[in-house]
Amino acid sequence: MNQVEFDHFPCLLLVSHIETTHLLTCNTYAESFLGLQSIDGSFGINDMLSKASLIFYESYLKPILLSNGMCKEVQLTLLTHTGERVPAVAHITLKEAALYWAIYPAQERDKLYQELVSARENLEAKTEELTRLTRLDPLTSLLNRRALTADLNKIITLIKRKYVPVCLVLIDIDFFKPINDNFGHEYGDEVLIKLAAVLKGVVRESDLVARWGGEEFLLVLYNANVDDAFSYCDRIHEAVRDIDLPDNKHLTVSIGIANVKQEDISDSEVISKNIHVADSALYIAKKSGRNQTQLVS
């Protein structure tokens, strides 16, 4: 192949001495890229590689070349005549004492790779946000019924391995329908939002709180016995009284507690049965005059 044909390749083609590292010949593309006026033996491979790539060449590539005679798809960083650092992929062959280099600058590949990484990260972030939003009640930003049920199933799986006490606390706003009817649904929504904030302020990070439906809310108190649950409910009653209603009235709630017993956790219906127990306790609280907490043992 003559020099003219050699110069048609759209990549850096070089020949260097393996020991001196001096450049013996190269094509026009390489001359332009490296800013070479002539090949006079003063320019070497160490002049075109970044410090990290040069160390990689000396410590890793050179021994492989001496042993196997070839390295393929080697990722290097080149230095242009302007000092710009350019990612590249090289194929290197050793013949006698000469190294034959075919080097392909990879700016566009790396740019595309970074764009793909960025697009993937954005997609993952949007997917996570979408997943988060599908778990939340849009009005109160609490967990929705489906999300709490899924998380409660995980808790049941955990306490099957090592039991800790868990209580379910079902909360219902007293006389919520008259609030909606007399003051409008927007006002009713504000009451729900304020109660949600109270509940979030009462529970711990290990607990779950969800809008169960309508004006009902469900708490899952992890590693909490019945006495702990009553203590939480007392705090809820007290905090809820700070939510003012028109006509100098205050918001009140009725609460039912269910204690998830160790002997019941192997039951496949343990969640639905305990929610039913909490609902029965809530019913008793309402029938007993509201604004109170009841437990069905």
CATH number of domain containing 151: 3.30.70.270
Residue 45 Cα distances to 34, 58, 99, angstroms: 11, 11, 10
Q: Which of 107, 122, 152 is the last residue of a domain?
A: 107
112 part of a folded domain: no
Does pTM top 0.85 for this prediction? no
- Tokens 């927007």 locate to 186
Contact 202, 210 (CB under 8 A): no
124 part of a folded domain: no
Residues 141 and 99 in one domain: no
Residues 185 and 235 in one domain: yes
Catalytic residue flag (residue 215): yes
Q: Which domain holds residue 11?
A: 3-107
10 part of a folded domain: yes
141 part of a folded domain: yes
Residues 102 and 141 in one domain: no
Residues 153 and 61 in one domain: no
List per-residue pLDDT tens for the chain, 297 residues long.
455 577 888 899 999 999 999 999 999 999 988 888 777 778 999 999 999 999 999 999 999 999 999 999 999 999 988 888 999 999 999 999 999 999 999 877 667 667 777 888 888 888 887 777 789 999 999 999 999 999 999 999 999 999 999 999 999 999 999 999 999 999 999 999 999 999 999 999 999 999 999 999 999 999 999 999 999 999 999 999 999 888 888 999 999 999 999 998 888 899 999 999 999 999 999 999 999 999 987
Contact 196, 203 (CB under 8 A): no
87 part of a folded domain: yes
127 part of a folded domain: no
Q: Which of 84, 190, 215, 263 is catalytic?
A: 215
Element (H, E) at 13: strand 12-17
Which CATH number belongs to the domain containing residue 23 in this structure?
3.30.450.20
Contact 271, 153 (CB under 8 A): yes
83 part of a folded domain: yes
Question: How many domains in the chain?
Answer: 2
What does the chain come to in residues? 297
218 part of a folded domain: yes
